[in-house]
Chain A
Amino acid sequence: MTSTLVIEGLRVDVAGREVLKGFDLTMRSGEVHAIMGPNGSGKSTLAHALTGHPGYQVTAGSVTIDGVELLTTTPTERARQGLLLILQQPFEIPGVRAYDLLGAAGADPSTLRARMLDEAKRIELAPELLERFVNVDLSGGERKRAEMVQLAVLRPKFAVLDEIDSGLDVDALDAVARRLRDATTEWDCGVLAITHFRRLLLELTPTMIHVVSDGRVVATGGPELAVTLERDGYEVFRGAGVPETR
């Protein structure tokens, strides 16, 4: 069954300042959408607000998966509706292992260990690292790979990736991108990738690219938009205000 994520008129304050100023986006499961934009345009705010980060105040708008409103629910409920955020800097959770986290998140305990091991192998993460506390004593690349194990076990309808390519070596980046691309067919995962760089997109091949400036989507287009961005920079989109194509 195809699912639809709809973000409409989303406005978000951070520390009393409006950062998202009416953000709109619609995507379906199995699709890959990229959000690109300069620093401070609101990309990360979008990711955090979608998942109910306590520092982000939603003042208006709506986010739904298959018509179910998420903004009025807890972060837990949003995850259970099928939304998963992979952070740029995944938190260290001392004392908590991925196995216990995923068990508490509802993964079937009878198959969990085996699935984690399979996924670790697939993403080329040394299996003994799964026994460490979540993200503790892991390198940047290992953290992203470990987060991919979580993602593959949880199988969200939509995965939101907040600049996961920053600080990642090419091998890790390719492995992560491959896993995400496979997820789009394996369980029809929708991938919303927030990124600065084209490298991730070369491997992930997005269906749509959204350019964000000053808290809004100012342009939406196909993969060719990434080429334009790389050639001309974000400057041409600044202050555009209205999506060019839809």
Chain B
Amino acid sequence: MNAFADSASTFIDNRPDAAARRRAWLLFEETGLPTTSDEVWRYAPLGDLVIDRFSVPDAPTTQPDSEFATKLRQRAGVVVRVVDGFCVSTGEMVEGLTVEIDETGDSLSGETLLQRYESDSFALLNAALAPGTTVLRVAAGVNLAQPIVVLNESSAAASFPRTQIVLGRGASATVVEYFEGGADALVVPVSEYRLEDNASLGLITYQRLDASAWHVARTTGFLARDARLHQAVVGLGAHYDRARNDAELLGAGASNELRTTFLGSGNQVHDFRTRQYHVAPRTTSTLLSKGAVADESRSVYTGLIEIEKGAKRTDARQTNHNLLLSPQAHADSVPNLDIRENDVVCAHASSVGPLDELQRWYLESRGVSREDAQRLLIQGFFYEMLSALPPELAELVESDVASVLASVDVVST
């Protein structure tokens, strides 16, 4: 992996915190990229990943916003712009919100990034190669009415965006993390969210990368007492779309609602993993993954609910519905439970099959064609997730989703 290693080495040498980055890089080199014999990567087309094709940029490429990004910008309250992982604009100042670039290499878990991600090759790359961490902080008690949009645009060969969102006690905010670009590129974002007591974060991750991109993302929420994280993760783009979304429910009464939705077409692979880690009592997690695969695309959903001893009266639920739109498409679903406490409610359900026949009939009985009915219902998977957004922003994302769906063959027979 010479070209990649050389550019990485140059990049690291030019950073102020080169030593810590170097340690992450060395650990990555030692571990190497995962292979499909590794259980957590068994569905990834890693054989296609030639990392030497990518080089690490030492500065952001200059490029204008896409048409969609421009519209997002017009409708958002605060826009933070990140190009190739470099935060190029922290947006206008809003009372109670600060946006800064952090170069300490700390994770919101309290560990260093290196400690936190030592067993995850891609996250290690991010620890070594992200230009810095874009940190959004909402002060205690502040309720940000306007949504914050983090525009992540990638045009370089490899980019490593890193975002941290911190909500003080009782704060609330809505954030959209948007990803676009990435033609023939590797995009490896790491995001962390820390919610102090009774904070509430509505989060929408909207991944619209180029169909040739490799996207390997990881997010982790750290939730204190009575904190609420409502997270929606939408995967539409990328050749390989990997999204690992974890939450640690550390304070009593914390709750995490996570919805992931994807649409696969061509030969895309959507690989969603979740881990809901219940540490404190009376915590709840509700996971709903709904996706559709067309053409020769594949999807896998692997969800782990882990409940520690003492996390009494935890309520953890996981549901996964996959829709096959072509005989060549394939979906796997792997729910896992690891429970070390008796006084809990836990449920999981998964299905792979066609759309709800009766819902489709209802639409058809109004005069909607079968194809349009299928499209409306699949579109509905996505629309349902956008309810956290103010209408003008939801409308924009909805029309973008609709435009993607319009190009996908949704009727297999």
Interface residues of A (CB under 8 A from B): 51-54, 74-76, 78-80, 84-85, 87, 90-91, 93-97, 100-102, 104-106, 131, 133, 150, 154
B5 to chain A, nearest CB (A): 46
Give the 4 A-B residue pairs with the shortest CB-CB distance, closest first: A95-B380, A79-B367, A105-B367, A75-B364
Can you list 22 A-B contacts with CB-CB less than 8 angstroms, sorted by A residue number?
A53-B365, A74-B370, A75-B361, A76-B364, A76-B367, A76-B370, A76-B373, A79-B364, A79-B367, A93-B376, A93-B377, A93-B380, A94-B384, A95-B377, A96-B380, A101-B376, A104-B363, A105-B368, A133-B380, A133-B384, A150-B366, A154-B367
Given contact pairs A78-B365, A133-B384, enumerate 20 new A-B contacts (beta carbons under 8 Å).
Answer: A52-B364, A53-B358, A53-B365, A54-B357, A74-B364, A75-B361, A76-B367, A76-B368, A79-B368, A80-B367, A87-B362, A90-B362, A93-B376, A95-B384, A96-B363, A96-B376, A101-B368, A104-B363, A105-B368, A133-B383
Q: Which residue of A lies closest to B375 (CB)?
A: A104
Is B120 positioned at the interface, with any CB of A under 8 Å from its CB? no
The tally of residues in B whose CB lies under 8 Å from a CB in A reads 24
Interface string of B380-394 (1 = CB under 8 A from A): 111110000001000
A128 to B383, CA, bound (A): 17
Q: Which residue of B lies closest to A92 (CB)?
A: B359
| A54-B357, A100-B376, A101-B376 known; A93-B366 Cβ under 8 A | no
Output the residue of B357, B365, B368, B381 with the most chain A CB within 10 A.
B365
Given contacts A54-B357, A54-B361, A101-B363, contact A94 B380 (CB under 8 A): yes
Q: A95-B381, A95-B383 are in contact. Are A104 and B362 (CB under 8 A)?
A: no
Q: How far does the alpha carbon of A90 sit from the alpha carbon of B363 in the complex, in Å?
A: 11
**Complex partner residue of B365 from A84, A94, A95, A131, CB under 8 angstroms:** A84
Q: Which residues of B sit under 8 angstroms from A150, Cβ to Cβ?
A: 366
A94 to B381, CA, bound (A): 8
Interface residue from B357, B358, B366 paired with A105 (Cβ < 8 Å): B366
CB neighbours of A100 from chain B (8 A): 376, 379
Contact partners of B362 in chain A: CB under 8 A: 87, 90-91, 93
Determine the chain B residues whose CB is within 8 A of the CB of A84 once the complex forms: 365-366
Q: How far is the CA of A54 from the CA of B370 in the complex (A)?
A: 13
Contact between B382 and A51, CB atoms less than 8 A apart: no
Contacts of B126-164 to chain A: CB distance below 8 A? none
Chain A nearest CB, measured from B179 CB (Å): 22
Instruction: Indicate which residue in B366, B369, B373, B382 contacts A154 across the interface (CB closer than 8 Å).
Output: B366
